[in-house]
Amino acid sequence: MSEIMTKKLRKVIFIACGILSAIILLYLLYRDYRPEIDVLMHPDSHTKTKLLYLIRQHEVRDSLFLLGLITVLNAIPGMSNSVFCILAGLCYGPWIGLAINWAGNILGNCIVESLIKRVDFSHRFKKNKFLNWLMAQKHPSLGMTLGFMVPVIPSVLVDYTAARLNVPANKFLLIVIVGMFPTSFIYAFGGDAIFNGDAKKLIGSLIGIAILFIIAWLLVRMASRKKQRTA
């Protein structure tokens, strides 16, 4: 078997293992959150009070399940963990929720970056305009940090860039820590705002997400112009 075929097979195996892990963690979370689901399925005049009580009664193991799910979904290309990042803030409050989100996103990206060179990526992936923009940066650390900050930009592109540029492990870890903080913070505080019905915090979280999307739009435009100039 050729090296390319071996790398393609590894990629399939890694993704399959990730999906299987996500399914198991989802089941474990569903099992522990079943009381809340039952309350939502059979609403009454006390539904909100019951939910507020049940949601904040979860044990440490549920936070570990949630941390694992956020990590796995972050590591699987094409998957989004934003719903579960919001759930972390909703269930555990803004600061513990932030810790869960931040740790999960950091772990997920570190796992992906460590596996990049062991798998093969498609020609279409390697021609991605934003990936090429990242690879051509005079200050790639800044570009990668911005890439991690924007939720609509697949983090695997940034991980691939770091692997291709042979970014030292300690430097990559710092980039991930800084880059993953804004979205981890916004989702955690947004989830807590939903739990407490705090309109001001919720609006602030939505504004933060909107700012990140604007940054994404600007970065995509810059990447498109760069590609046009080099074409």
Mean pLDDT of the chain: 82
Per-residue confidence band for 224, with pLDDT thresholds at 50, 70 and 90? low
Q: What are 101-117's pLDDT values in tens digits?
A: 999 999 999 999 988 88
Q: What are 164-176's pLDDT values in tens digits?
A: 889 999 999 999 9
For position 21, what pLDDT does the model report?
93
Would you say residue 150 has pLDDT above 90?
A: no
Per-residue confidence band for 38, with pLDDT thresholds at 50, 70 and 90? confident
Rounded average pLDDT over 28-42 = 81
Per-residue confidence band for 180, with pLDDT thresholds at 50, 70 and 90? very high
Would you say residue 183 has pLDDT above 80?
A: yes
For position 101, what pLDDT does the model report?
95
Total domains in the fold of the chain = 1
Q: Write out the residue range of the structural domain in which residue 126 sits.
A: 3-230
CB 92 within 8 A of CB 184: no
CA distance 69 to 221: 32
CB 104 within 8 A of CB 137: no
Higher pLDDT, residue 183 or 209: 183
Would you say residue 231 has pLDDT above 60?
A: no
DSSP-derived secondary structure letter, 150: -
